[in-house]
Amino acid sequence: MKYLIYLFSILLCFTTPLIGFAQTELTDSLTTVLKSPSLGEKEKPVLLNQLAEIYRTNKNYGLAERKASESARIALQNKDYIDAVKAYTQLVNIRTSTGQLSLAKRTSDSTSVLAKKANDPVAMAYAYYAQVLVYKILDDAQNVVKFCGLALKQLEKKSDPYIASKIYYRLYAVYSGWNNEAKANLYASKATENVLLTSDYNHLSNCYTALSVAHEYNYNTSKNKAELDSVLFYLKKSEMLYHQYPLSLIHI
């Protein structure tokens, strides 16, 4: 894995300035839209959640939490429990990122309550994913797999490629850590298939990197040069996204 990490770190050296610039432009654009008098209250939670994700990615956790909390508040005022669940899932992500495990667990429990109120399979999938985030930080891979499975069962009733890709990516990460070559390949592929149905280019970059890792596993087993070529191919595709979609690197 050292070869892959070294190569990708070199690629990121060239793309990091562009990422920061693009994210600043995107946050400014979103803030402008949110201030527009023509924007309805029901449209705000999605945009606020998007802002929260950008701030979380940039490790501006205070602003991230404020935007996610505002998203949740507006959604609840409008009894839009699905968007409220998504905002609470974002809060879980922020709180696990900052090591607030007890608060993250309580927030995850609240997410489950809201998902039941929503009575919607996608909302339930998000609620299970919120639990995945908690168990991931606790390094409890067995429960990560369990709750990913429960989330995917919900998505059999109603599809949502965005959250499906996140779930498959978490399964890829677990099985990659367990050196399970077959399942790492399977879930990296499924994560990529689903994210390609969205405009989440940031996560698509992650998925391309996952595919490159999966092909490196394959190469280590088979010593087939085609697998090594695939490692480089997907790393290059990941890097190219930052040039193709500089204003779409973060998307909820």
Residue 55 placed within a domain = no
Residue 13 buriedness (CB in 10 A; 0-12 / 13-18 / 19+): exposed
3-class secondary structure per residue, 45-95: HHHHHHHHHHHHHCCCHHHHHHHHHHHHHHHHHCCCHHHHHHHHHHHHHHH
Domain count, the chain: 1
Residue 29 placed within a domain = no
Residue 125 placed within a domain = no
Q: Is the pLDDT of residue 227 over 90?
A: no
pLDDT of the residue at 242:
72
pLDDT of the residue at 63:
95
Mean residue pLDDT of the chain comes to: 86
Distance between CA atoms of 164 and 169, rounded to whole angstroms? 8
Q: Residue 217 belongs to what domain range?
A: 1-22+160-252
Query: Average pLDDT of 224-249?
Result: 75
> Token pair 């994560």 is at which residue?
191
Q: What confidence category does residue 5 fall into, taking pLDDT thresholds of 50, 70 and 90?
A: very low
Residue 139 placed within a domain = no
Residue 5 placed within a domain = yes
pLDDT tens figures, 53-100? 889 988 999 999 999 999 999 999 999 999 999 999 999 999 999 999
Distance between CA atoms of 31 and 216, rounded to whole angstroms? 41
Residue 184 placed within a domain = yes
pLDDT tens figures, 173-216? 999 999 999 999 999 999 999 999 998 888 899 999 999 998 98
* Choice between 227 and 209, residue whose per-residue pLDDT is larger: 209
Residue 104 placed within a domain = no
Tell me the whole-structure pTM to 2 decimals. Answer: 0.85
Residue 39 placed within a domain = no
